[in-house]
């Protein structure tokens, strides 16, 4: 019983460490290649910079399949709709690209007011005011999407392995 408990504990501990590293990696990959660029696009001082940053985020979304679906577990609300989120970012980019194309055709046709309005629209689309201040608008669990169910189940299995291993060792040493 001690050997079985120790094995479960070790397997659970290794699995938990691996899942921890993987979760941090998924979070960091999304944050550094998409989320941070959404924030930079919203805070950009020019339409050129905003379009550049937004293009990086949209490219990441398309490359990683973040274009449709819902990141919620049960209640598929619009705030967790990945397709709406993607289309909002894509629409903001299209608006900026349109303004940049117009500026390239006729530089005098795009006024400072047009540029400011475009930047304000991008900012309003990409950012939300929350309890902890202004943050990037994004669906919950987007770093795990579309595998949020599988990842959650793996975390539960890791915790169960640890718990059962500890329980078996406790019983083996105390009885």
Using an 8 Å Cβ cutoff, are 145 and 139 in contact?
yes
Q: What is the pLDDT of residue 103?
A: 94
Using an 8 Å Cβ cutoff, are 165 and 7 in contact?
yes
Which candidate, 81, 89, 77, places its Cα nearest to that of 139?
81
Q: What is the pLDDT of residue 175?
A: 76
Could you state, in order of their start, the residue ranges of all structural domains in the chain? 2-174
Q: What is the pLDDT of residue 104?
A: 94
Burial of residue 8 (number of CB atoms within 10 Å: 0-12, 13-18, 19+) = buried
Q: What is the pLDDT along the chain (175 residues), one digit of tens a residue?
A: 788 888 999 999 999 999 999 999 999 999 999 999 999 999 999 999 999 999 999 999 999 999 999 999 998 999 999 999 999 999 999 999 999 999 999 999 999 999 999 999 999 999 998 888 889 999 999 999 999 999 999 999 999 999 999 998 888 888 7
* pTM exceeds cut of 0.75: yes
């Amino acid at each position: 019983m001690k050997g079985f408990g120790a094995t479960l504990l070790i397997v659970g501990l290794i699995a938990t460490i691996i899942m921890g590293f993987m979760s941090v990696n998924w979070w960091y990959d999304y944050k550094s290649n998409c989320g941070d660029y959404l924030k930079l696009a919203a805070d950009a001082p020019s339409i050129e910079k905003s379009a550049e940053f937004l293009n990086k985020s949209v490219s990441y979304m398309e490359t990683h399949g973040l274009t449709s679906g819902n990141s919620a577990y049960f209640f598929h609300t619009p705030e967790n709709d990945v397709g709406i989120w993607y289309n909002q970012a894509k629409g903001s980019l299209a608006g900026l690209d349109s303004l940049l194309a117009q500026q390239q055709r006729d530089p005098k046709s795009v006024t400072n007011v047009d540029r400011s309005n475009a930047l304000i629209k991008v900012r309003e689309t990409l950012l939300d005011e929350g309890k902890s201040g202004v943050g990037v608008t994004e669906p919950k669990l987007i770093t795990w999407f579309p595998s949020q169910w599988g990842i959650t189940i793996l975390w539960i299995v890791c915790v169960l392995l640890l718990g059962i291993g500890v329980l078996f060792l406790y019983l083996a040493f105390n009885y």
